Amino acid sequence: MHKFKDKVVVVTGGASGIGAATVDAFWLEGARVAALDIKERAEKAPDGVRSYPCDVADETSVEATFDRVVSEIGNIDVVVHSAAVLGGSGPFHQLNLDTWNRYINTNLSGSFLVSRAAASRMVAQGTKGRIILVGSVNSVASERGAAPYASSKGGIRMLTRSAAVDLAPYGITVNMILPGPITTPATRKNFEQLETRRIFERVLPGGLPGLPTDIAAAALFLASPESRFVTGTDLLVDGGMFAQILN
């Protein structure tokens, strides 16, 4: 196995949930992994995974962290950006600018800063790399009370396309994963509620939410040589939610 042996992979949001599962998945495939997060990982990371504190909404933090990764681990081959502010924010007419900016700054501007940091170094080092952004089904459809979140994720969808077009001449692909409901430490409490379980039984053909490893597996594909001709697109990993017409 070890498809990514000696490859350097950067994962943001790597301390928990989808990010932690992605860190583990690439490590198991032989990659040298840098796990970036604003907080520490609760459980011990695999030996050989390096953890770096990083605030993806802060340009100085992102640039300095990417410089450290290159200096300490090596030239970057793959970036998986999963760090995000999650959750609803309340009715649209009651939103304030601070709330709006919190989602936009971390989710959308953070995606730009991480993607640019990765792309600039890949171009400079001549690497035909992979940039993978983790969005949401809310990139293409909104829920009530989630306007800043959905808007930030929708913006990432167009950022993916724009970056893919500009970076294609350098052999760098840029793609986006759109997860449906995924059980993580941040969502588990809500997902265990009876009302939420009943909603899943209705909107998910299989009736159950996905796991972080489902998203990590999609990232492995988009980072692989087999995805060479896949760029500027979305990969829905939603358990068939968008395929179903509700009666």
Please give the positions annotated as active site.
149
The 3-state DSSP composition of the chain as helix, strand, coil percent (nearest 5) reads 45, 15, 40
Contact 227, 169 (CB under 8 A): no
Task: In whole angstroms, give the CA distance from residue 63 to residue 54.
Answer: 9
The Cα-based distances of 49 to 55, 94, 200, 217, 225 in angstroms read 19, 43, 35, 18, 23
Whether 118 and 66 have beta carbons less than 8 Å apart is answered as yes
User: Distance (Å, rounded) from C-alpha 139 to C-alpha 170?
Assistant: 27
Map residue 236 onto helix, strand or coil: strand
Nearest to 106 by CA among 53, 62, 164: 62
